[in-house]
């Protein structure tokens, strides 16, 4: 079993540094989230973001925008091998053969030759088939159809079952994580098993109240940065990967411009103190699709 924090690797393109994943792929630490864009918005935003230097794009079956994401990837003009595309599938595909069908359906919607990382979107433990779904991902990985395999919204207990029953460690677990939902125990579990933690809703969701928190505002003023840049830098200081969503060109550039400054340990601790506990986030034992 691979243990320890994944190594920080080379710069991909001209922007985000990468992690070397357990199965060898290079995952950009900062990418573009696309929920809740529709196909039209995703096509325009993805193409623009890639032109700015983004190399990771995240989508999902449930977002309903895979076609737009794929068109944006093609419109960017950047060679496919320089990009990292992630998508996720829903609980109807929780099965060994079903996971392969989910892959093919997403591939068809994206209009691409391959997907880099495929995630089980939610564990849906009440259904009880997420291990079989992961076994399907492992088959795709072993067959060379994927560069990496992972999970989304899995708790340590879910990951324990996956690892024990398949013998394979996910490359990534994508979870809701922000200064108000820091997921300390999940992060510790991931680090102990060599799993990359990738944060969704990294600046706190639609309300973005965290950007108005005095500690965040003060740190931003101290560094001459926006509150959002400070929060995204906080994710980097914690050793995470993240996928902030924006369709605004100015914010897209700002989100990517976080690799030339750092936060002190005290600043990181102050922002982390905003944590409201796991109960402030989505409960994947009770919710899923």
142 sits in which H/E element: helix 130-142
Q: Two tokens at 234?
A: 């906080």
The angle subtended at Cα 56 by Cα 58 and Cα 142, nearest 5°, is 80
**Catalytic (active-site) positions:** 63
Task: Calculate helix-pair angle for 214-223, 265-272, nearest 10 degrees.
Answer: 150
Integer angstrom CA distances of residue 137 from 26, 80, 230, 246? 18, 21, 35, 29
Q: Two tokens at 158?
A: 């879910």
Among 284, 272, 231, CA closest to 254: 231
Handedness of CA 122, 151, 55, 254 (dihedral sign): positive
Q: Name residue 234's beta-bridge partners.
A: none
DSSP for residue 260? S
CB 194 within 8 A of CB 150: no
Integer angstrom CA distances of residue 141 from 7, 45, 146, 207? 21, 29, 5, 38
Q: Which residues contact 30 (CB under 8 A, 6 or more apart)?
A: 15, 16, 54, 56, 232, 236, 241, 242, 243, 244, 255, 256, 258
Cis peptide before 36 (omega within 30 of 0): yes
């Amino acid at each position: 079993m691979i243990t320890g924090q994944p190594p920080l690797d080379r710069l991909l393109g001209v922007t985000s540094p990468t992690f070397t994943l357990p199965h060898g792929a290079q995952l950009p630490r900062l990418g573009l989230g696309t929920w809740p864009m529709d196909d039209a918005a995703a096509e325009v935003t993805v193409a623009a973001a890639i032109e700015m230097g983004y190399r990771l794009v995240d989508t999902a079956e449930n977002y309903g925008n895979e076609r737009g994401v794929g068109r944006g990837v093609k419109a960017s003009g950047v060679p496919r091998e320089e990009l990292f595309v992630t998508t996720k599938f829903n609980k109807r595909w929780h099965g060994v053969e079903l996971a392969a069908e989910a892959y093919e359906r997403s591939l068809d919607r994206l209009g691409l030759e391959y997907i880099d990382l495929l995630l089980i979107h939610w564990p849906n433990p009440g259904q009880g088939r997420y291990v079989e779904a992961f076994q399907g991902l492992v088959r795709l990985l072993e067959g060379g159809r994927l560069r990496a395999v992972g999970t989304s919204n899995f708790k340590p207990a879910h990951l324990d079952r996956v690892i024990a029953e398949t013998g394979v460690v996910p490359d990534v677990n994508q979870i809701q994580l922000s200064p108000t939902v820091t997921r300390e125990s999940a992060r510790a579990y991931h680090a102990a098993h060599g799993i990359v933690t990738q944060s969704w809703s990294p600046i706190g969701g639609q309300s973005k109240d965290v950007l108005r928190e005095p500690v965040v505002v003060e740190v931003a003023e101290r560094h001459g940065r926006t509150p959002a840049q400070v929060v995204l830098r906080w994710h980097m200081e914690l050793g995470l990967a993240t996928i902030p969503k924006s369709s605004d060109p100015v914010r897209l550039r700002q989100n990517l411009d976080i690799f030339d400054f750092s936060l002190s340990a005290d600043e990181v601790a102050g922002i982390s103190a905003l944590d409201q506990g796991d109960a402030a986030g989505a409960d994947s034992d009770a919710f899923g699709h």
